[in-house]
Structure formats: structure tokens, C-alpha cells
Structure 1
Amino acid sequence: MAVSVTAALLIIGDEILTGRTKDKNIGYIAEYLMGIGIDLREVRIVPDVEEEIVAAVNALRQRYTYLFTTGGIGPTHDDITADSVAKALGVGIGYDPRAVAMLRERYPENELNEARMRMARIPDCADLIENPISKAPGFRIENVFVMAGVPAIMQVMLDSIAPTLETGAKMISTMIEAEGIPEGHYAEGLAAIAAGEPRVSIGSYPSFSASGFRNQIVVRGKDAAAVEEASAAVRALLGRLRGDRSPL
């Protein structure tokens, strides 16, 4: 049986919810985790409010193998992720000498002010996630990984922690062009194929371009034989419908 390792992503920040900052991390993390055999099952976005962060951390870390968070570990007053995670896990928090040393690699002593020192406050017993770009570290405590919200920094942090993660069977994906056949023509048949093969998931994804509608069907699963069998059934279904071009 294919091993399933699951994850959730918690995005923290008022700026995401107001639309001021456009999230660029969800897609990257989802694709990255899928590529190494971890299923991203849930994504939540919460504001910079302690009780909201604590509640989300406790719900998600108990439900999935791993919880990844992004955002809220900078030097400003509203960067409260570290304190909130410490509260969620019931541990103390303070200046971590290792984190202080990392910050001193970047900032002269006279520039390492109180605001910047906030980035060295780490929950007790946490492991640090190195940050070669700006030096301010993320951290891991139990199954919770706390990373920066800045995409470039988050990406190097993810590269750093990936070798430490338990992984499962990788997702196999097959894309089949529906060749302009309207979704309404193959929906019933696609549902029947999906119901008959529970080891795969099947999705239909229409898009629009200058040349008109384009429908793509994607078959995903961790059992190669099941994916191939379902894909063959989809291709056969489309083959039977190719002469039918009436609109939805």
C-alpha cells in the first residue's frame, strides 16, 4: 500500500487577506511537496491575531503529518507568529543565542536594534531553519515548520528542511486533452470512471484562450497501474464523443 504523508499550509498576515500582498507561496509549496511525496491537504489564511493563529496551529498540526507556516517572523510589532506558535505548543520563548549569532553575521552591533532582535526570539526547544539570504532564521518545533513569507527566503528554507522530512509515494499525474469536447458531454462518463476507480482522482479543467475553450482532464494517483487504467478509460470515452460537437 502506498504510504501517505500529509501536510497543511498556514499563511499568516493581514496583508494577504486585504489583497495588498498577492500570495506567491501556495502554488510553489504545493508543487514542491507533491514532487517529494507529501500530500498538501489544506491551506488556511489567518490574520495577525494571536488567538486565530493559535487555534489554526493546534487544529492543523494535530490533523496532518506536517504543518508549514509562512509569514509573521519579521521585526515589526505585528510579526507575532513565533509567540503564537510557542503559545499553541505550550512552551516558553526567548532570545536564542544561535539566532542572535546569525543576525550578527548581517548587522553591525550598532544596527542590531530591539526591533531586529525580535527575529531572534525562538520558542524553547525549537530547531532553527537557516536563512542564507537575510540571516533571520525560521524554526521547527515538533511537526510545525515556521518559515518566512518572502518567497525567495521561503524557498531556500524549504530546500533546507526537505531532506529532514518523511515522504511517501509520489503522485503520478496524466493530462489528457479533451480536444474541444464540451464538459457537459463527458461529465457523466467521467463521473462513472471516477466512481469505478477509487485509487485515482479525476479533474476536468476548462480554460479560455484566443482560440476558444480548452478542456483538459487530469488523472492523478499513486498507483501507476490504476492511473494508466483510468487514463485509458478517459481516452476511450473521449474517442466515443469526438463526433459530437454541439454546444453545452
Structure 2
Amino acid sequence: MATTVADVLDVTDAAAAAEWLTDYYATGVARQAWERDRTPMPAFELVNRVLADPDPPEVAVLAALALRRQLMEAAERVDTEIVELARQRRVPWEVIGASVGVTKQAAFQRHARRTRPRRPGGGGGGGRPGGRREPVRTWLDENARRLRALARDLLSSHGSELRDVNITVATAVHRLGIADYQGGDREVLECARLLLAAVDDALEASKTALPWDQVTLSPRVHETLGELRELLRSAPDHP
């Protein structure tokens, strides 16, 4: 592929930058996911590949610049989740502010700026006429934190075991990781469903496979998958 600066000269095009860097740096499962489904690697992994390259091409540096907004938005989203969790556990604003070296007033104001106000229209709005909220948004408001916790448990503690099942499951794990890091709650929900479907298909095929081709997952993976499956039973059918 061409590696001229003109290929990724527009540092505002994060999608093109992620595609170029994935094509240039991806290996292993990431390479298979890219070649099979054109699924790019997560932004943080791509930037780490550029930083680890002793002599990255100029186009790679420009592409890394194009991913800065995604990285900052992802970091801000995670920071907001941490603050919300702390407030749910009644951690005072003084302590939250002290963790980043600011006053309680500054910490509160920073968090307030990140929290979008509900739209007017009866019962919280949600953008639908008459104030009715779409079912998936209501479900995510109540379950997004638990959904992401289970997804992160699978990714951090059991990702390697799941990726060893087959390429379809490995790709689903890869996509879930991208959704969790730089996607919204809807993307995480959809990718969690895809992962469960891929695992279920692999387990079903394993029933008639030869002994050395059968899928064996640890009890802890089965337990976490079961918790995720139970949670998603109450989710609307079409995110």
C-alpha cells in the first residue's frame, strides 16, 4: 500500500486514520479481523503501535494525530463513569476533587459540564413525541453500568481464553473491546449480543466435533457469560 503523506493528510478524518494504521500495524487476531471484516483496531492500541515504532512513517504520525480526539473523548467518558460511581457510593466532592488536585467546586463544575441535561417533554423526554423514551435508552439508563462491567470482565480476565475458541469468537471479542473503549452504550450492547451468539454457535458445533476440536471453557467464563446472557434477556430486541 502507498505510504505517502497525502494518504492521511486530513488529521480530522479519524476513521481513515484508524483504517490506515490497522492495515499497516495489525497482526494476529487484529489482522484477521481487519482482513475478514475490515474491523479497525482500537484507537489506543493503534497509537501505542506508532509510539513503539522506532521509526514510524510520517503518515503514521499524522494518523495518530487524527485519533487524538477519540482518545480524549474515551478518557473523558471513563473519567465521568468513575466520578458517577464515586458519587453513587457517597464519596464527597472534596475527595473527588483532591484526586486530581482541584477544589470540590471545580470538580463539581467539571462533572456538571459533562452531564447532558434531559430534554423537556414529560418524564425525561428521550427525544420522542409526548415525552416517551425509546425502550433501549430506558434499558441502558438502568443497565449500562452492569453491561460494561461484565464486558470488561470478559475482556480483561477471559479475553485470551475466548479468542482461542475460533476466529468468529475472536473477532467478536475484538469488536467488543473497541465498542467498550471508544463506542457508546448501544455499541457495547450490540457487540455483547454478537459475542454471545458467536460463543453459543461454537459450543453448539462442539457437540458433534472430534474430541480435540471440542470447545472447553473454564467455569468462570461460563459464569460470566451466563450473567451477561441473563442481563441481556431483559434488553429490547433492536438496539
User: Do Structure 1 and Structure 2 share a fold, with TM-score over 0.5?
Assistant: no
Q: TM-score, normalised by structure 2?
A: 0.21
- Structure with the larger strand share: 1
- Structure with the larger helix share: 2
